[in-house]
Amino acid sequence: MKGFAMIKIGEVGWIEAKKPEAGPLDAIVKPLALSPCTSDVHTVWAGAIGERFNMVLGHEAVGEVVEVGPLVKDFKPGDRVIVPAITPDWGALESQAGFPQHSGGMLSGWKFSNFKDGVFGEFFHVNEADANLGHLPDGIAIEDAVMLPDMVPTGFHGVELAQVTFGDTVVVVGIGPVGLMSVAGCALHGAGRIMAVGSRPNCVEVAKKYGATDIINYKKGDIVEQVMDLTKGKGVDKVVIAGGDVDTFDQAIRMLKPGGRIGNVNYLGEGDYVKIPRVDWGVGMGHKTISAGLTPGGRYKMEKLATLLQTKRLDTSLLLTHRFKGFEHIEEALLLMKDKPADLIKPVVTL
Amino acid sequence: MKGFAMIKIGEVGWIEAKKPEAGPLDAIVKPLALSPCTSDVHTVWAGAIGERFNMVLGHEAVGEVVEVGPLVKDFKPGDRVIVPAITPDWGALESQAGFPQHSGGMLSGWKFSNFKDGVFGEFFHVNEADANLGHLPDGIAIEDAVMLPDMVPTGFHGVELAQVTFGDTVVVVGIGPVGLMSVAGCALHGAGRIMAVGSRPNCVEVAKKYGATDIINYKKGDIVEQVMDLTKGKGVDKVVIAGGDVDTFDQAIRMLKPGGRIGNVNYLGEGDYVKIPRVDWGVGMGHKTISAGLTPGGRYKMEKLATLLQTKRLDTSLLLTHRFKGFEHIEEALLLMKDKPADLIKPVVTL
Amino acid sequence: MKGFAMIKIGEVGWIEAKKPEAGPLDAIVKPLALSPCTSDVHTVWAGAIGERFNMVLGHEAVGEVVEVGPLVKDFKPGDRVIVPAITPDWGALESQAGFPQHSGGMLSGWKFSNFKDGVFGEFFHVNEADANLGHLPDGIAIEDAVMLPDMVPTGFHGVELAQVTFGDTVVVVGIGPVGLMSVAGCALHGAGRIMAVGSRPNCVEVAKKYGATDIINYKKGDIVEQVMDLTKGKGVDKVVIAGGDVDTFDQAIRMLKPGGRIGNVNYLGEGDYVKIPRVDWGVGMGHKTISAGLTPGGRYKMEKLATLLQTKRLDTSLLLTHRFKGFEHIEEALLLMKDKPADLIKPVVTL
Amino acid sequence: MKGFAMIKIGEVGWIEAKKPEAGPLDAIVKPLALSPCTSDVHTVWAGAIGERFNMVLGHEAVGEVVEVGPLVKDFKPGDRVIVPAITPDWGALESQAGFPQHSGGMLSGWKFSNFKDGVFGEFFHVNEADANLGHLPDGIAIEDAVMLPDMVPTGFHGVELAQVTFGDTVVVVGIGPVGLMSVAGCALHGAGRIMAVGSRPNCVEVAKKYGATDIINYKKGDIVEQVMDLTKGKGVDKVVIAGGDVDTFDQAIRMLKPGGRIGNVNYLGEGDYVKIPRVDWGVGMGHKTISAGLTPGGRYKMEKLATLLQTKRLDTSLLLTHRFKGFEHIEEALLLMKDKPADLIKPVVTL
């Protein structure tokens, strides 16, 4: 079968890949809509997960089931499904402990285009299909739905980790597609004032639509100072980090009230250390909690979050700046993510 | 001073009351906007808290500070303030344990028109002013703001107790003003499908505006059956109870999934027992958690929730069906709450 | 193979049962130590789960693996294992939501001697072996270890549900083997004063060894009054219910402080309703939270709790009043649980 | 009155201080037992809180009430009291948000020998006496009780922040008096294996008595390697940090499982940054949560923790290596804390 793959670090291309086979619990799915992710760019051009050869890329898909293993009960060929980016081993000790994304080892719940071929193929393999596919409800466009595998739950997980609730004043750092979902998630989880840190005009416009009440442009000065000015020196209740780098935590700690929380969902690609400023962290006693994690994945999250699209509480279409029709356009879509033209938020390819 | 009071159980009227005095930590406030509550009706006509003579009624007010005690630091005469219905003793053991509403004994954080005169006077007394007044921010109409002392935090507390989060399917029982705030709170705290139980047309209309996706009319059949039909027999994740009676819990347990939660904020005025159906409760092992409590009150909640009005995420004006101008109309407003004409949700009186 | 079975409601006996077979994820285990449970008694003589014919009883076992399915990775024939009473389907939506004990439906994580033959056979079947067996560490006697499948995690789950923590004053209702593990669990989770409700002298003695500071004998008067006397009218922080019946909740609510929690792990076999006293429950607003649930089961819990036996923090041998050697004694052991002689806490059979 | 004071950074001595006066809510207390703390050493010789002149030192005391303000209800002259090191303003917004230790600003709940004279005087002042004094129960020696103001709640707070529970494998870094209370707290909150990091023989001996199952001596090699060896490469569930420095967090992250938690209660006196190793932190996605904070203080904690001494679950006397009789010995006791002779854990002075 055909697949769009990482040939090696720094190189992508179309390959003839082996069609996947379903074990007893698994499913084979063909994609209906696909979206490339910044993680794909990191994988190929930053070597983020190390060298890989001829590995089919992609982990954001909705599709149609074409085959299921004999132990699969809840899905059958022809079913339209949401496929989470993270597909845990649900019986693993880490899953039983509440962290399925780390089943079998830290981050090992992430399998697509990491431990096996991803979703940018004519077919792809899903482990533990009953637990890792979600039924796609009627009434949701597949382009909108393809934001459910990663953008929505990752952006929202930052909100969960920061424990945003009624009336919180929150800073969201980063307004790429994940950060925008964090902004939307804050608004949908009770935040009052939402200060979004970013500068690209198209993203700023969408951030406001999703509920940002203030935009903080790092090009206009130190973001900590701007936040402290806006809050009359008090700082904020929560910070969701969905962009930036290892130094962003220094800023986040400094803008946070004692008792505040950081929720990070940003992949940190470089730097030896995340640095926490000792004095602003209350010399180790300020109750500024730092939580950071990969979205959990799995069927339960997919089906629950889909209800927000069904009930129109969340409109993911605002993210979709570039729409392609035809599998062959996945290459173009991925290169857009790499090149990040000014008008890009997120491309989507329907098949 | 003049006050509108409970003369005794079953009787209300205007009285000449003693003007309150401020202790070292206290404030004296004159009302700018007032709203009567169903609790006032229970207090007078159901004798809910026992006999009281010549007690000024009312616990929902925004006002202007006219006097503060010598230890008050953050407020001064002339400040416009939100006055929470619940004004705890913040140093009490119960407050330190996280339950200020029960400071000094169960429900004893509720002081207005319970242990002392309420807010329907020319002046009223607020204990621990720095901790129990909230600054009223600019840009919020006082009519809208007077929903902050009780309707908003009580409705939202049901959402907090039920731990509503992203994608939950929730039933809200009752769509009076508190129930409507629970509906709004569910939508603002991530719920997907929100099924509101009620029948009055004006409330139904507002419930939909606040985010209800389904309306369940108990006049059209058993509400448990209706919920099970709507969920294809699966039941719901959470139930917020903001109406009904002691028998509502039986229904709530039966419509709840295992692992679900009930959050009750409804005052239960009659009946010896709340009855939990043994078998549907999983013979004591179904993890259907029952939580129930009075809203916490205090300044922190008032100021945080006010940001939701400032940022226009919550529009309390939809509740305000009857608006009066002039202190003397508080009587008419209260009688409306007693008589509940078809077009009533909540009356408000500005001064 | 031979098995000790429920022939029908009210009747037990030895049967020739079909030797179980392992599916791809499963294991076949032969018992090394077994213990009958009050639940077995309820199943047979109270018909608690309905009629069953020729169903092998038992759900408390440690054993030796004799066969594993081809997808099992972490266990092999010859491994000595702890077998949890509850063996969930870990990929189920309920498990993903944090409630594996309800995988596939309320209480459906309980499979042994419920949906399939139990452990009182020459061999028994374990679903999802990698997720539902625990390695038995060296240095733990098998008699002591056979308290890990049910007695320890069930007793401790009451402590978890009640959220017992440092310095809490707790009442534990019931000092049978589960209640005694609740007492031990309270002491191991920070409780200060632990008031154990019971009357049997041998259980009272063991309760004190596990950390009970006060014994409340219901034969000596109303237990609520006794608790209120002991606490000078203040009541307690938490109540763990591991005995009694549907009326126990009425007492528990009345002895609880506002803000308190009930954690129930007692099977409620009779009565239509659990009755919550309206006024003592704060007319629905007292924050006396009622949680109740089946222990979660699974490998993670087994292996974690086993460390408490390894490190000698918990000595389960105090429960073991009757020890038998030989599979044939399982009948005698079960009848002891039914007849409850005065000197019984828990019988164990080693093979 | 006489007081033992910080004259300036680097210098201590006896001074004639002004006798404190009680405001309406306050109490004046005379000490019955005192203990110096490493924080006093930091304050004086490291200038940890900046320059102070002629400030009476000390924040660990039990005493006798000699005077109360007119609004104090629950205490009267002659009462024997436990005085928490942290005495919050309970009405502050931070307290209402659940963080009384930060009332009025980060760490500002700490008042003794910080914003006002400490407890090493003939008399000392306690703000909000009803909320910040605890009744000393009968049957607790005052020497043992003087560990309640700081050592016990600080050590235990590390356990709370790390959320230690049944069966956890925990590393406790540091076995000075706070670290030893963390070890005891882990054992009292369900931990299975407790690995204590330290080297001083007397502390090692006491750590074992409090429940440490393994001792890790940093002089015998890298502590991360030792932990990984002891856990067969798996790492631990939780790390409580009660010693070390800013670099300890690097080690803690590396020995922690994904999904693990760090609870820090160690004062970090030096270094610009706490450094979190990016890769071992799961490139920002490993769910290794970092929480760190000052103990909450207040009456509720004091009275609850006192029950653990009453019920003999916690024996603080093991900490007390040096006992003095007479106020004048406070100087000698403080210098012991500064010089840390090999046989010292904690000195106590009774009056």
Q: What type of residue is B325? A: K
Q: At CA D321, angle to CA D320 and CA D323, rounded to 5?
A: 75
Report the gap between the CA of B266 and the closest CA in chain D (Å). 24
Residue with tokens 């002895």: C255
Write the CA distances from B243 to B197, B252, C289, integer angstroms. 9, 12, 19
Counting as contact any 3 or more CB pairs under 8 A, the partners of B are: A, C, D
Structure tokens at D44: 């004086």
Cα gap B216→B231, rounded to integer Å: 13
- List CB contacts of D32: < 8 A, sequence separation 6 or more: D61, D62, D63, D64, D80, D142, D350, D351
Q: Does C276 contact B at CB distance below 8 Å?
A: yes
Chain B environment of C94 (Cβ under 8 Å): 257-259
- Tally of CA atoms within 13 A in the half-sphere of B48 that contains its CB: 20
| B100 has a chain D CB within 8 A of its CB | yes
Q: How far apart are CA D210 and CA D317, in angstroms?
A: 11
Per residue in C276-299, is it b (16+ CB within 10 Å) or e — as a string? bbbebbbbbbbbbbbbbbbbbbbb
Q: What is the DSSP string of C115-171?
A: TB--SSBSSEEESSHHHH-EEPPTT--HHHHTTTTTHHHHHHHHHHHHT--TT--EE
| Residues linked to residue C345 through DSSP beta bridges, in sequence order | none
Q: Which residue of C138, C154, C157, C166 is the best one to mutate when testing the D interface, meaning the one whose CB has the most D CBs within 10 A?
A: C166
Residue in A267, A326, A336 with CA at minimum distance from that of residue A120:
A326
Tokens of C73: 């990775």
Answer yes or no: do B274 and C276 touch at CB < 8 A. yes
Where are any strands of DSSP class E within chain B?
Answer: 2-8, 11-16, 27-34, 55-56, 61-68, 80-83, 124-126, 134-135, 170-173, 194-197, 214-216, 236-241, 256-264, 273-277, 289-292, 320-325, 346-350
Structure tokens at B45: 């006509």
Beta strand extents in C35-130 (DSSP E only): 55-56, 61-68, 80-83, 124-126
Is B273's CB within 8 Å of C272's CB? no
Percent of chain A scoring above 90 in pLDDT: 100
CA distance D271 to chain C (A): 33
Q: Can you list the positions of beta strands (E) in D213-318?
A: 214-216, 236-241, 256-264, 273-277, 289-292
3-state secondary structure B273-287: EEEEECCCCCCCCEC
CA distance B63 to chain A (A): 22
DSSP H or E segment with residue C34: strand C27-34
pLDDT band at B111 (very low <50, low <70, confident <90, very high): very high
Q: Is A59 on the interface with C (CB under 8 A)?
A: no
Q: Which of D71, D91, D301 is closest, CB to CB, to B90?
A: D91
Angle (CA) D84-D85-D86 rounded to 5° is 90
By C-alpha distance, the chain B residue nearest A208 is B311
pTM for this model (two decimals): 0.98
Write the DSSP assignment of C194-221 as a string of letters: EEEE---HHHHHHHHHHT-SEEE-GGGS
CA distance A232 to A228: 6
Q: How far is B158 from chain D (nearest CA, A)?
A: 18
**Phi/psi at A349 (nearest 5 deg)?**
-120, 125
C-alpha triplet A281, A267, A103: angle, nearest 5°: 100
Nearest CA in chain D to A233: D105
Q: Verify whether the Cβ–Cβ distance C166 to D189 is below 8 Å.
A: yes
Separation of alpha carbons D112 and D39, rounded Å: 11
What is the average per-residue pLDDT within A98-107? 98
* Chains A & D: contacts with CB separation below 8 Å: 161
Tokens 């800013």 map to which residue?
Answer: D246
Computed from CA positions of residues A90, A92, A97, A102, in that sequence, does the dihedral angle turn out positive or negative?
Answer: negative
> Which C residues 109-128 touch D at CB under 8 Å?
none
> In chain A, whose CA is at the least distance from the CA of D289?
A291
Best of A160, A283, A288, A290 to substitute, by most chain D Cβ atoms within 10 angstroms, is A283
Q: Is B300 on the interface with C (CB under 8 A)?
A: no
- Indicate the SS3 state at residue D21: coil
Cα dihedral sign for C329, C330, C333, C339? Answer: negative
B213 lies within 8 A of chain A by CB:
yes
**C35, amino acid identity:** S
Q: Residue A312 has what pLDDT?
A: 97
Q: Cβ separation of D166 and C187 shorter than 8 Å?
A: no
- The CA-atom distances, in angstroms, between A206 and each of A171, A265, A317, A323 are 16, 20, 10, 17
Helical (H) or strand (E) element with C227: helix C223-230
- Helix or strand or coil: residue D68? strand
Contact A58, A333 (CB under 8 A): no
Cβ neighbours of B168 in A, within 8 Å? 304
* CA dist., res. C129 & res. C125, Å (int): 9
Q: Would the CB atoms of B102 and C276 count as touching at under 8 Å?
A: no
Least Cα separation, residue D286 to chain A (angstroms) = 5
Q: What are φ and ψ of residue B183, in 5° steps?
A: -60, -50
The confidence score (pLDDT) of residue D201 equals 97
Residues of C in contact with B250 (CB under 8 A): 273
CA distance A208 to chain D (A): 27
Q: Which residue has the tokens 């407003």?
A: B333
User: D94: distance to nearest CA of chain A, Å?
Assistant: 8
Question: Which of D210, D303, D311, D316 would best serve as a mutation to test chain C binding (most C beta carbons within 10 A)?
Answer: D311
Q: What is the pLDDT along chain D (351 residues), one digit of tens a residue?
A: 999 999 999 999 999 999 999 999 999 999 999 999 999 999 999 999 999 999 999 999 999 999 999 999 999 999 999 999 999 999 999 999 999 999 999 999 999 999 999 999 999 999 999 999 999 999 999 999 999 999 999 999 999 999 999 999 999 999 999 999 999 999 999 999 999 999 999 999 999 999 999 999 999 999 999 999 999 999 999 999 999 999 999 999 999 999 999 999 999 999 999 999 999 999 999 999 999 999 999 999 999 999 999 999 999 999 999 999 999 999 999 999 999 999 999 999 999
Give the closest-approach CA distance of B306 to chain A in angstroms: 7
Instruction: Give the per-residue pLDDT at A146.
Output: 98
Whose tokens are 């950390």? That residue is: C211
Going D111 to D114 to D117 to D120, the CA torsion angle's sign is: positive
| Average of per-residue pLDDT values in chain B | 97
pLDDT at A33: 98
- The position carrying tokens 């509920």 is A211
User: For residue B98, which residues of chain D lie inside 8 Å, CB to CB?
Assistant: 98
Distance from CA of A249 to the nearest CA of B (A): 25
- Which of A105, A282, A293 is the closest to D106 by Cβ? A282
Question: Which ipTM score applies to this complex?
Answer: 0.97
For A119-164, the DSSP string reads SSBSSEEESSHHHH-EE--TT--HHHHTTTTTHHHHHHHHHHHHT-
Q: Which residue of C has its CA nearest to A296?
A: C96
Integer Cα distance of A80 and C167 in angstroms:
53
Rg (CA), chain D: 20
Nearest residue of A to residue B187 by CA position? A188
- Residue D100, min C-alpha distance to chain A (Å): 10
What is the strand order of the sheet D2-8 is part of? D11-16, D2-8, D55-56
Nearest to D99 among A241, A259, A291 (CB): A259
Show the beta-strand stretches assigned E in chain A: 2-8, 11-16, 27-34, 55-56, 61-68, 80-83, 124-126, 134-135, 170-173, 194-197, 214-216, 236-241, 256-264, 273-277, 289-292, 320-325, 346-350
- B166/A156 CB distance under 8 A: yes
> Closest Cα partner for C276 from C243, C250, C257?
C250
- Contacts D48 to A, Cβ<8 Å: 283
* Cβ atoms within 10 Å, residue D105: 11
Subunits in contact with chain C (3 or more CB pairs closer than 8 Å): A, B, D
**Smallest Cα–Cα separation from C72: which of C101, C34, C29, C38?**
C29
Kindly determine whether residue B92 and residue D24, on different chains, have CB atoms separated by under 8 Å. no
Nearest to C99 among B287, B292, B293 (CB): B287
Nearest CA in chain B to A301: B167
pLDDT tens string, chain C, 351 residues long: the values are 999 999 999 999 999 999 999 999 999 999 999 999 999 999 999 999 999 999 999 999 999 999 999 999 999 999 999 999 999 999 999 999 999 999 999 999 999 999 999 999 999 999 999 999 999 999 999 999 999 999 999 999 999 999 999 999 999 999 999 999 999 999 999 999 999 999 999 999 999 999 999 999 999 999 999 999 999 999 999 999 999 999 999 999 999 999 999 999 999 999 999 999 999 999 999 999 999 999 999 999 999 999 999 999 999 999 999 999 999 999 999 999 999 999 999 999 999
D103: nearest CA in chain B?
B131
Structure-token pair, residue B290: 């029952």
Distance CA C111, CA C106 (A): 12
Query: How far apart are alpha carbons B107 and B99 in whole angstroms?
Result: 10
**Main-chain phi, psi angles of B263, to 5 degrees:** -120, 110
- DSSP notation for B62-79: EEEEEEE-TT--S--TT-
Contact between chains at D96 and B100 (C-beta distance less than 8 A): yes
C335 touches chain A (CB under 8 A): no
- For residue C188, list chain D residues with Cβ-Cβ distance below 8 A: 166, 188-190
Cα angle for residues B89, B95, B101 (degrees, 5° grid) = 70
Contacts of A259 in chain D (CB under 8 A): 94, 97-99, 102
Chain D residues 127-146 within an 8 A CB cutoff of chain A: none
The pLDDT score that the predictor gives to residue B252 is 98
Of chain A, the percentage scoring pLDDT greater than 70 comes to 100
B318 closest CA partner among B172, B82, B152: B152
Q: What is the pLDDT of residues B300-310, one digit of tens each?
A: 999 999 999 99
Confidence band, pLDDT 50/70/90 cuts, at residue A54: very high
